[in-house]
Amino acid sequence: MFKQLPTSVTIAEVGPRDGFQNVKTFIPTADKIAIIEDLIAAGIKNFELTSFVSPKAIPQLADAADVCRIILAKYGSQINGSALVPNLRGAQSAWEAGIREVACVISVSTSHNRANINRTHDESIADLAKMLESLPEMTVRVDLATAFACPFDGWIHPEAVGALATRIHQLGVRKIVLADTIGVATPDRVYALSTYMRQQFPDTDFALHLHDTRGMGLSNTLAGLMAGITTFETSIAGLGGCPFAPGAAGNTATEDMVNMLRDMNITTGVSREKLIEVVSLVAEKVDAPVNSHLAKAKLYECLN
């Protein structure tokens, strides 16, 4: 049944951006740095370090440039540090802070795209084209939000995802993240969309961003693995959630993902035990609940 499973998986840690952005109490920059450093010590190499957005919109990430400069100055040769940007101006700020890969969000649902970034698809595509033209040396990936379902429009058909991805692909983008923004996807839908997209765009690297709203994060991960996806975005302690997706809970916890893959003999290069130590630091420094199944159950105490 599981013959198609990959032997190794890339974990992309989005906690410093997606996990922190909704936390109301400001996390001191030094604490953010400490958490990221401990994640690096645990073996994480791919990060979404922050987002270059207006501090008025997301006060928590007002220190984006400082976080990037400090981390990249010390660990730039060891990690791939990216950032989310809403527009060309954000991408330029990211470049000045040393970032060489950015993520742009476009929602497959037109209603959510309007609620999230106040743009039509045409406007989003035009801004993406401008970014690619203005920063040719920057790697740009696109996060397709609401790729499975939208809080306003309901279920999203794979053909709608493919149609938007075609426009993005025509601009030269070859890295796309399929996001279950509100965490209602099911394994059959994850398998179907992942398979469809890999068939339609064989030259594109796809990743999955799976929220755990209904406790389906890990089962959906397995479906993605069976469809050939080998990169997954996760958040330490299961932090996160979309402010423009009512009811959306946190991301799949990094430690839960690593725990499952470790016991399935799928290599991640990340230490489960060290991640649990990071969760303790997050619980101490971040004013938000820990949503990790592994940490809550404390089963790690008897695991080898």
Q: Which residues are catalytic?
A: 242
**117 half-sphere exposure, CB direction, 13 A CA radius:** 24
Return the sign of the alpha-carbon dihedral for residues 140, 149, 241, 255: negative
What values do phi and psi take at 206, rounded to 5? -110, 145
The answer to whether 208 touches 232, Cβ cutoff 8 Å, is yes
* 3-state SS class at 156: coil
Label residue 90 exposed, middle or buried (CB < 10 Å: 0-12, 13-18, 19+). buried
- Joined together, the tokens standing for residue 86 give 């809403």
Return the sign of the alpha-carbon dihedral for residues 112, 113, 114, 117: positive
Q: Choose among 151, 218, 144: nearest CA to 179.
A: 144
Q: Report CA Rg, the chain.
A: 18
How far CA 31 is from CA of 48, 53, 60, in Å, comes to 16, 20, 12
Q: Which residues contact 198 (CB under 8 A, 6 or more apart)?
A: 206, 227, 228, 229
Report the length, in residues, of the chain.
Answer: 304
Q: Which residue has the tokens 């994060």?
A: 217
For residue 268, give the DSSP letter: -
The answer to whether 276 touches 43, Cβ cutoff 8 Å, is no
- Joined together, the tokens standing for residue 8 give 């190794």
